[in-house]
Chains A and B, each alone.
Chain A
């Protein structure tokens, strides 16, 4: 199937009448996912969005419930967002990150209804990456510029049009509803060519990385590797797979609400005990945790690396920490088992 680029705004307008539609929109010098009210707001030409699509499902700040407490009880009111949504123009790495996060919010014991309800009611329409950025390394971590994990439809840019690949039943239904035209053989070969031409130039060798992390918790490499890091947490806030949060009350005299806000393992108070003891005292322990969590603990728990190679942490770190270099250094480091 195929949709001409000039038909996109009209297609989106139709979707908007039925769904809450999110698409990248221009915000100063970068793009961000926002709920759009007109199909012409979508910006599909730019690089990947500054912030990942994660926040549509797991907002930076989110009310969990309102409460009203009296002498005889407490009334709790939740407002779980079950509006039907379409995310239009999400990149494959960010779509994949949500599949990874599903493991966290739907774990072996508990289900997070806020995140999961949004996930269940959302159709993901992705756009493949014809020109991956120099910081992208998705192909090193099981992804790729046209990977369809987590997508319902994948659009492939062929110049004047997008060739539409159906990935899931949800995607199939949406495509049918939209009435996309059939793609000609020419269109299909143009799409194949675009895929062929897209090159992720950066490769990170992760062979043996997990084995190394299994044994090098106490290795001297961690004394050095974090030195540059300021502990600002920017990388964690921009990462599509980071999921740490805090829960706070926003209330005056017991009538208020409980809110969850993104938090970061880069901050010292994140793990500070009530007694004053802190298991992750310095930046060394905290930076190590970030790497261990993504490349070892997540693998141990869910069988997947919790990094999709989007490169946001590389682009936005104020002191140019480059996770690719860090991984290379860690992989090459001498292991030491003792403490």
Chain B
């Protein structure tokens, strides 16, 4: 019987300050052996419990893609005990990783379809994983157009700036970035994500929309997607209920009878419509 509570020790090789406000750090973790890497087969959309030994564990979406071997990446906002301890960690220290946990974005269903990825703020982590995965040269042909709409309050709060710059130049992906209000030197759009989505989103025909972001962004983006004709079955979301065990036992992450950790975190809008709005 595999013990689902035991973390895999990994080495923190990079603790990178991702945003200008310094509240988000991106952590690169390296496997200690090839065997360890084999024991962690994951897909975009899955998450893991990161553990700072001596402080505890907390769940974070996996920001790296399975197409990037050798390491795992997480981007973590500083909000409490574990996340603060992570931010303070020195490169070279051991971190525990328990996972991969949860389900993943339905990449099989996306085949032959267009995909529009809509992300707000720092909830761009698993979306980055997804985009990177689909952009893999041997996989890119499986999908139609890939559009990414990504917004933050200001340019300094966007994650993965170097990568965004590369996507700007990449003909295989259509990237639209937006910020809330204009600043000097900004070449992207200005405006809230729902409005920008309404303007630039591709036709809903044969297209999946994947949406992650703060509750208020989700709230105002949903009606826009509906207006654009996206059926609830083709709107994909990822929930972030508070979690502990990650394996459907500790009882805290439920939305109705579904455990977000085990049955999610990825749900279609149609599935969520069947559940009480406890998220």
Contact = CB atoms under 8 A, between A and B. Distances in A.
Interface of A: 64-65, 67, 69-74, 76, 78, 104-105, 107-113, 116-117, 217-218, 243-249, 251-254, 256, 258, 260, 263, 265, 270-275, 277, 279-280, 285, 289, 292-293, 296-298, 300-301, 339
Contacts of B58: 274
Nearest to B215: A277
Interface in B47-83: 51, 53-58, 77, 79-80, 83
Question: Which of B51, B58, B255 has its CB near the most chain A CB atoms (within 10 A)?
Answer: B51
Interface in B168-194: none
A297 B249 contact: no
B54 A254 contact: yes
A237 to B, nearest CB: 13
B158 to A, nearest CB: 19
A105 B3 CA distance: 12
Nearest to A279: B278
A7 to B, nearest CB: 38
A247 B252 contact: no
Contacts of A104: 248-249
Contact of B250 (A64, A218, A244): A244
B47 to A, nearest CB: 13
Contact of A105 (B2, B77, B249): B249
Contacts of A108: 262
B250 A113 contact: no
Interface residues of B, number: 47
Nearest to A64: B5
Interface string B256-278: 11000010000000000000111
Contact of A265 (B7, B9, B252): B252
B254 A263 contact: no
Interface in B230-265: 240-242, 244-245, 247-257, 262
A258 B5 contact: yes
Contacts of A248: 56
Describe A's contact surface by its main secondary structure: mixed
B53 A244 contact: no
A249 B54 contact: yes
Contact of A252 (B54, B96, B214): B54
A247 B56 contact: yes
12 contacts: A69-B53, A73-B94, A109-B248, A112-B4, A112-B249, A116-B1, A244-B252, A254-B53, A272-B242, A274-B242, A297-B254, A298-B257
A113 B1 CA distance: 7
A111 B4 contact: yes
B32 interface: yes
Contact of A274 (B2, B77, B262): B77
Nearest to A247: B244
A212 B3 CA distance: 39
